[in-house]
Amino acid sequence: MTDLTPDARPKPLSARDLSLWLQSEQPLRLVDVREQQELALAPFPHPVIHLPLSESERWLPALPGLLGEDADLVVLCHAGVRSWQFGCWLLARDPQRTVWNLEGGIDAWSVDVDPNVPRY
Task: Count the neighbouring beta carbons within 10 Å of the beta carbon of residue 76.
Answer: 30
Catalytic residue among 77, 88, 90, 99: 77
How far, in Å, are 10, 67, 78 from residue 117 at the CA level?
A: 24, 25, 12
88: annotated active-site residue: no
Say if strands 28-32 and 11-13 run parallel, antiparallel, or are unpaired: unpaired
For residues 34-45, one letter each, b for 16 or more C-beta atoms within 10 angstroms of the residue's C-beta and e for the rest, the string is bbeebeeebebe
> Annotated active-site positions, please?
77
